[in-house]
Chains A and B, each alone.
Chain A
Amino acid sequence: MTSATLRSGAWKLLEMITTPLLPSDYLDLVSPLRAGADLRGRIEAVHPETADAATIVIRPGRGWRGHTAGQYVRIGVDVDGRRLWRAYSITSPTNRQDGRVTITVKAIPDGKVSNHLVRRAKPGTLVQLDQPTGDFVLPQAKPAKVLYLTAGSGITPVMGMLRDIDFDDVVMVHCAPQPQDVIFRNELHDLVTAKKLRLTEVHTDTDGMLDIARLGELVPDWAERETWACGPAGLLDAAEEFWSGHGVGERLHTERFRPGIVVAGDGGEVTFSATGKTVDADGATPLLDAGEEAGVLMPSGCRMGICFGCVTPLKAGAVRDLRTGEITEAEPGVLIQTCVSAAAGPCDIER
């Protein structure tokens, strides 16, 4: 017998011992970050950066495959007992000695997860992680001249890059309302002092918004620079137009933080993506009825919200609970009871 078959045999025996649970259910009690466990991390420290931003130091589980500078990670945090997933750029360098990674979070108004992480997260807390991902990364070959164009928390993926690799000629234009709102300001100024970075801060409260058309005044050779830009959609739209207008569109790399713009309405187009059917449903028709009428095979049960026999993944959009009026927005892993939920705008039900 090879050691692999021995191992799988031993694992099968373990499964028989722990049935109906899995061996991992018991191992999780003592070692949630071990190799082979679902990927998690433990918050080890929370460092305030500005009045509304903080850096969260996380020790990832053994299954963490590491990141490339500029990438982001999806993180599942329990807020008021409910698990919510968000994506944040990784701000730590890839070669950090202690194996920890950091994300830097800016609390946005009414942001459930961001406010929780910035103001209430405690060291010791376990969070769920996905492997890092994203293609807002540096190329293998070092560009001679680099421009980082950022605004607000758009600085976070760029900070991951700045900390990771030294380039010979780096310029950064960063926008924030006031000097005290500039995340990582001390560290940036240290880099300036060390002559590793040329920095222009645009303080929008006093200077007004950055006018991309006048970028040449700040960075005369912008068109020769490989540029990474991250910030609000308006800035990125303007940048893309400006770069491609000058025929250098391929030099610009942008990262858009997915804006949470699900607008909850009353009724909408319901897509049953597994069967490829689409129907228009009003705000009073349960999705179960809408699906059945369209000939989709829907799991069902009591039809009054008590048996949980109809729970189905909500892949996109928003639905309204017909009993409470509560709106549920699509997020990975979100399941809804189709018998008591109606479309609140366009939505996609995995059936």
Chain B
Amino acid sequence: MVTLTIDDKQVTVSKDATIYDAAKAAGIRIPIICHDKKLQPFGGCRMCLVEVEQMKGRQIPACTTPVTEGMIVRTSTDEIIKARKMVLELLLLKHPIDCPVCDAAGDCDLQNLTYEYQVNTNRFQDEKFNWKIDYENPLIERDMNRCVHCGKCARICDEIVSFGAYSFINRGIQARIGTEFDGPLNCEFCGSCVSVCPVGALISRPFKFKARWWSLNKVKSVCSYCGTGCQLTLGVKNNEVMTTIYDENQGFHNGQLCTRGRWGYQFVNSEKRLTTPMIRKNGKLEPASWDEALGLVAKRLGDAKGSPDSLAALVSPRLTNEELFVMKKLFKETLGCDNIDHAGGYSHKALTAGAKESLGYAGSPSVIADIKKTNLLLVIKTDAYETHPVLGFEINLAVKQHGVDIRLLSDKKGKLSKLPNAQTYVHKAGADLLLVNAIAKVILDESLHNAAAAQAIGGFSAWQQSLANCAIDQVAAQCGVDTDTIKGLARDYAAAEKALIILPTGMGYPGHGKEMAQAVINLALLTGRVGKEGCGVLILGEKNNSQGAADLAIYPTAGGKEAQAILAGCAAGSIKTLFIAGENPVVSYPNRSQVEKALDAVEFLVVSELFLTETSAKAHVVLPACSFAEKEGTFTSVGGAVQRINPAIKAIGQSRSDLAILNGLFQAITGQPAYANSAAAFLDLAATVPGYAGLTQAGLGDNGAIRAVSGTATFVPVPAAVPTSEAGKFALVTGSALNHCGTLSLYGEGPMLVCPAGYIELSREDAKAVGVKDGETVKVSSATGEVKLAVKVGSRVPKGLVFAPYHFADSSINTITSGNAITWVSLAK
């Protein structure tokens, strides 16, 4: 620790702090423009100049100068104020004074500092720049005339996002922030650059001219897209979510958001939102009152009480914990129905069936903070970045700032493959499980494992026995990864002091289910890496509350039917009533025609939804539900963080939260409501759900709390199939597109402006062989159907493999997928 004096105040800080950090700790504000706590110090703007007595009173930048013992710093002498005024005058020399029409007004560091330092005249004069403004993309407007060269956009895009869209170009007076070849912005559109821009050079186009910054009501909440659990601040005016606001002090991610969280908020106030309940009359959905709709549903559910097998529910893991809890109470406890599941019956199995059996709890043994604390990251399928982009940022930071070694085991390359010293082992499609087992086998054969720890865990010898026939040479030939590479990876993994495995899961990853989770957990258990900091396995549940749904056991637990079996039951007529809350199986579950047949066949279909989706359009009763921005409750993130969401706006139309809907049904059936409110539901939840004990909604505060996990681990033998191939056909793997999450983002204008339709990614060689060029359409056919998709040619996918995202309703990929990890498809022009 170092002690220094700033403006006559003594302050003690760690030795790697800067003067700026020390001043902040002492409650002294030093103005900054180019500094951001997430970024490496830059020292470019000279606003933070201070005087240091030991440096003969010279003016030095506080944000880049480290503290030293006994330093005497003065932050606001007359000379300093004079210097800062001049910095502002020089910045204003070129900066246009267009504050009245600038969207940053009120949230502009330059404007605020100009006001604070009373720079009302300028001793200098020069012509203003007249750079062309970039309006060529729908989300980010770039006006380089307003740029103050702080470089924050280029730095965040490089250091955290790892895309590198911006760079300083040209030199001298002509220098400015530009893109490659000075062309229009063509990036991931995460908007990180917009969030850190201290002036109005980079502004949000969807928000432009919507509201003045100071007129927005700011409400803290949690993003409702993926499972990362990013906290966000919604900017609200006139009961409308206008934008998301950057708060560098929010969440583990310091306010950083991805393309969906930043630009995907429009679904909340979408004109397409359902506003009244609807009941099918004479084959048509017609508006109805809540009493009528709920009465009808309650009667149907109540009638099914005697025959719970004829009833089933498919629930979205986008609901809050409290809602899921009431759902469970209603279906499992009150109606005695165990036919309840979420997300297609397999995408959550990694957590519910895999982790539960192997670890004793349906969750990851690791937390998000482990990413930066580990020494080696083993990422299974590179798409961790595309499913959970902000975790991708955390991985970038771990690799770049903390020197974490990153290894990727995948059937294709991805953005993480481009990180410094990243090693990607591209294997044949469907060979992941075989490879993970082979790595374990090498560790066992070479006695690199933690023998004492491993042998103390149940099932060790049976599992070891199951690997007896695993011959590395043979596996190498089957996987397309050579023996030495497999051995090298196994040795590196075993030798690392701390190692963390990241496993993305979700609707688009049928191969990443129960077995894959168990195989990687076996590997972590073998090396004694469960329950240690910076170690273990992080299973990335796809949706915002996938982890909560797993924790609350929203899946069949007493022999009930899983999603696939539920749909089969609907088609066969054994299930007569189906309640769907927030799921859109027609688009997201595999084998669309079968799903549609099942939903068309079921006697009574109730859907509680935000929109008239492809699924709710088939319902007999549609209940308009609230979005996350209209309700309170909690979500549990992939790292087990239980975080509160807060109502930012009043419910749209007559929509009700799922909690209110389920409570209403509960009351109609039992005569009394399940809970008075969401806090009461949480109280009961905390008392009954393992790991949530002691938590209260109010006690979660702004930062949330990580729920505990405990259980008894076991080694589980996981048989791995040898990857197959079909002559002349391509291996289709599905997954997530960066801009989308599930099918909800299709109602967010931002993501749709950037990525409006499905596509299929091909290697250059394959594109040539099929005779298609980038952007052209190709006919993709499999045993279950045929679909036309635009072609994206790139170097990410190897020859023989094609990739398609699953989110889109038009020409949806589930027309041709059947739920197998790999779908063999033919391509024709």
Q: Do A and B interact with each other, yes or no?
A: no
Give the B-binding residues of A (Cβ under 8 A): none
